[in-house]
Every structure is written in structure tokens, then in C-alpha cells.
Amino acid sequence: FAQIAVINLMLAGFNLLPAFPMDGGRVLRALLATRYDRVDATRIAAAAGQAVAFAMGLFGVSTGNPILVLIAAFIFFASQAENSQEALLGLARNEHARDAMITEFEALRPDDSLELAATTLIRTTQHEFPVIDPASGRPLGLLTRAALYRALDGGHRAAPVAEAMTTGIPTVRLQDGLGHVLEALGNGAPAVFVTDRTGALLGYITRENLGEWLVVTNARRGGRAPGISG
């Protein structure tokens, strides 16, 4: 029992280290948030966590403890990811879907062949293609590059795009906040469609172009652009 108690105390102490993703990092951020906004509080707390990780890593190297080095690396990158994600959310809170969407793109019809999709892939820079109803302009799905490759490898060049497209793509309106887009992309959606009142497709947002938006937006504000984690 004494040994178990010591282990539990050690785990509790480790969890209170002022570093993400431990509770100690979140407690530190909460304390800093009483003086700074959440983005700055996260940045400071993440820097503190990385300092702890660096010291832990040095100690692990000097004592020949590879497990400690691995833990230090985990803490370092977890702190970096937390800071990046919060910085992204901070930028996105006051922005809308229309600010980051792709508006110049080529779309496919559900009855277009995968051979046509392959030709379109080659002559454009797109990695994915919205599939729309030609009558209403409403999005029916998304043909990703990976899905197209799989279908072509299977010898289905003449098959319609509808057989390889991904359905159930989340949809937002122009004025919807980018926070909704981030949530959808974070849940694994390959893209988010932006539609008008009638449901017709106006544009779409992917993780890649959202990252580009982030770089440009943050550069305009004179800061460094964090990455998109998750």
C-alpha cells in the first residue's frame, strides 16, 4: 500500500506540472487569464511548459534516462500544439466563412466519369472537387484526390463520380463564424461547403486553405502564424 501511495503521489505531482496537456498547464493558463486574454495566457503557459520540458529533457539526457526524454518531447510538442490551436481559435472568433473560402474552383457533376475527374485534376491545382446538382447548384458531395486515386487503381475509370465521392460534407452560410468551420474540420471533415440561402454552393474551405488564410491574416497583423493542429 505504501508503494502504491508513493506512485499515486508521484502521478499527482506530475499532473500538476505547469505544462500542457497536464492539469497544471491549464491551471497556469487560468491564473494568467485573470491578467491577459486567453490567447496570450495560452502562449505564456505553453512557453512555460516548453521550458519545463526542455529542462526535463536535459536531465533525462544527462542521467541516461530515455523514458524521461520521451516524456519531455511529448510535453514540448503538446504545449506547442495547444498554443497553435488557441491562436487559431483566437483569430477565427471574429472572422466568418466568407473570409476564408475558396471561390474559384471547378466542380463536377455526379454523372461525370472518373476519367474526366482525373483529367480535371491534372489541369488544375485542386486536390478535391465539389460535386454539385447541375439544376440547383447544390452540393451533393466531394471527390477527394485520395478517393479518385483509389477508384482509378481499381480500374473504374468509366464509373460516375457519384460512386467515389464523399457525402455528408458539413455546410455553413457566408456569415457563419469560422469557429464552426474549425469544429467541422477538427471532427474529420475533408472540407466545409459554404452555401447561399437557397443551398447553392458559393465556395468551400479545406484545412489547407484555412492554414493559408491563417498565415496571411496573422502576417497582416504583424505576428507569427501558428499551425493548425488536430
Residue 198 and residue 184 in contact, taking contact as beta carbons nearer than 8 Å: no
Residues 124, 146, single domain; the answer is yes
* Residue at 230 is within a domain: no
Residues 30, 143, single domain; the answer is no
Looking at the DSSP bridge assignments, the partners of residue 194 are: 172, 203
Domain hosting 27: range is: 2-92
d(CA 97, CA 99): 5
Looking at the DSSP bridge assignments, the partners of residue 149 are: none
Residues 143, 190, single domain; the answer is yes
d(CA 190, CA 206): 7
**Least confident window among 55-59, 104-108, 129-133:** 55-59
Length, in residues, of the chain: 230
* Domains of the chain: total: 2
What is the DSSP annotation of 54-118? HHHHHHHHHTT-HHHHHHHHHHHHHHHHHHHHHHHHHHHTT-BHHHH-B-S---B-TTSBHHHHH
Last residue of a domain, one of 92, 122, 155: 92
Span 127-144, mean pLDDT? 96
* Residue at 228 is within a domain: no
Q: Is the pLDDT of residue 14 over 50?
A: yes
Q: Is the pLDDT of residue 17 over 70?
A: yes
CA proximity to 215, closest of 198, 227, 197: 227
d(CA 149, CA 154): 9
Q: Is the pLDDT of residue 13 over 90?
A: no
Q: Is the pLDDT of residue 117 over 60?
A: yes
Residues 78, 160, single domain; the answer is no
d(CA 140, CA 80): 37
Between residues 194 and 20, which one has the greater pLDDT? Answer: 194
Return the pLDDT at 18.
Answer: 75
Residues 85, 138, single domain; the answer is no
d(CA 173, CA 195): 5
Looking at the DSSP bridge assignments, the partners of residue 142 are: 130, 166
* Residue at 170 is within a domain: yes
**Least confident window among 36-45, 97-106, 186-195:** 36-45
CA proximity to 204, closest of 161, 167, 170: 170
Q: Is the pLDDT of residue 226 over 70?
A: no
Q: Is the pLDDT of residue 63 over 70?
A: yes
* pLDDT band at 27; cut points 50, 70, 90: confident
* pLDDT band at 128; cut points 50, 70, 90: very high
* Residue at 227 is within a domain: no
Return the pLDDT at 230.
Answer: 46
Share of the chain above pLDDT 90, in %: 44
Residues 81, 192, single domain; the answer is no
Q: Residue 202: helix, strand or coil by DSSP?
A: strand
Last residue of a domain, one of 92, 109, 138: 92
CATH number at residue 204: 3.10.580.10
**Least confident window among 72-76, 191-195, 226-230:** 226-230
* Residue at 51 is within a domain: yes
* pLDDT band at 186; cut points 50, 70, 90: confident
d(CA 131, CA 181): 19
Residues 76, 173, single domain; the answer is no
Q: What is the mean pLDDT of the chain?
A: 87
* Residue at 81 is within a domain: yes
